[in-house]
Amino acid sequence: MRALVVITALLLLIAGSNGYGQYRMPGDDIRETVSRFGQAEVVVSYPGFDAMTKIASRFSVSSCDAREAILCLSGRDVDEFIALGIPYKPVIPEERKGFYTASSLSEAMLWQSYPTWQHYDTIMHKIAERWPGVCRLDTIGFSVMGRAVLALKISDNVAVDEPEPSVMLSSTIHGDEPAGFVLLMRLAEYLASGSTGGGLAEELVSGLEIWINPLANPDGMYRDNDTMIYPVRANSNGYDLNRNFPDPEVSSPPLQKETSDMIAFLEEKRFALSVNLHSGVEVVNYPWDKWTRLHPDDDWFDGISRRYADTVHLHAEPGYMVYLDNGVTRGWEWYIVRGGRQDFVTWGLGGREVTIEIDDTKMTPGSNLEMIWNWNYRSLLRYIAEALNGVRGTVADDDTGDPLSAKVFISGHDADSSHVYSDTVTGTYCRFLAPGEWTITFSSPGYLPLSFQASITAWNSVVQQDVRLQKPAYNYPAPPGSGLLIWPNPCDGKFSVMLPARITGDVTVTLTGVSGAIISSYSTSAQAGIPLTCDFSTLPPGIYIVSVRGEPFGPLLRGKVIITRPFPE
- Could you tell me the smallest distance in angstroms from the CB atom of residue 215 to Zn ion? 13
Residue 533: half-sphere exposure toward Cβ, Cα within 13 Å:
3
Residue 88: CB atoms within 10 Å: 26
CA distance 92 to 45: 17
CA distance 320 to 360: 9
Identify how many contiguous H helices and E strands the chain contains and give both numbers.
Answer: 15, 27
> Alpha carbon 468 to chain centroid distance?
28
- Could you tell me the smallest distance in angstroms from the CB atom of residue 220 to Zn ion? 10
321-329 contacts, C-beta under 8 A, 24 or more apart: 321/282, 321/283, 321/284, 321/358, 321/375, 322/282, 323/281, 323/282, 323/283, 323/357, 324/283, 327/282, 327/283, 327/284, 328/283, 328/284, 328/286, 328/302, 329/283, 329/284, 329/285, 329/286
∠ CA(322), CA(323), CA(328), 5° rounding? 85
- Could you tell me the smallest distance in angstroms from the CB atom of residue 177 to Zn ion? 5
Query: In the complex, which residue's CB is closest to Zn ion?
Result: 278
- Could you tell me the smallest distance in angstroms from the CB atom of residue 256 to Zn ion? 16
Q: 347 with 266: CB under 8 angstroms?
A: no
**3-state secondary structure (DSSP) of residue 77:** coil
> Looking at beta carbons only, is 278 or 549 nearer to Zn ion?
278
Closest by CA to 215, choosing from 151, 142, 259, is 151
Adjacent-strand bridge partners of 34: none
- Could you tell me the smallest distance in angstroms from the CB atom of residue 243 to Zn ion? 10
Residue 215: half-sphere exposure toward Cβ, Cα within 13 Å:
32
Determine the angle formed by the axes of helices 200-207 and 369-385, rounding to 10 degrees: 50
CA distance 152 to 168: 10
Strand 505-513 vs strand 328-330: parallel, antiparallel, or unpaired? Answer: unpaired
> Looking at beta carbons only, is 154 or 358 nearer to Zn ion?
358
> Looking at beta carbons only, is 243 or 278 nearer to Zn ion?
278
545 phi and psi angles, rounded to 5 deg:
-110, 130
> Looking at beta carbons only, is 213 or 389 nearer to Zn ion?
213
Adjacent-strand bridge partners of 141: 149
- Could you tell me the smallest distance in angstroms from the CB atom of residue 391 to Zn ion? 33
> Looking at beta carbons only, is 174 or 269 nearer to Zn ion?
174
321 phi and psi angles, rounded to 5 deg:
55, 55
> Looking at beta carbons only, is 222 or 442 nearer to Zn ion?
222
- Could you tell me the smallest distance in angstroms from the CB atom of residue 412 to Zn ion? 36
> Looking at beta carbons only, is 174 or 341 nearer to Zn ion?
174
Residues lying near Zn ion in the complex (CB under 5 A): 174, 177, 278
Q: 115 with 100: CB under 8 angstroms?
A: no
The DSSP result for 491-528, as a single string, is BSSEEEEEPPTT--EEEEEEEEETT--EEEEEEEEEBT
- Could you tell me the smallest distance in angstroms from the CB atom of residue 142 to Zn ion? 22
- Could you tell me the smallest distance in angstroms from the CB atom of residue 126 to Zn ion? 28
- Could you tell me the smallest distance in angstroms from the CB atom of residue 280 to Zn ion? 6
∠ CA(167), CA(172), CA(174), 5° rounding? 130
- Could you tell me the smallest distance in angstroms from the CB atom of residue 85 to Zn ion? 27
> Looking at beta carbons only, is 174 or 295 nearer to Zn ion?
174
Residue 482: CB atoms within 10 Å: 8
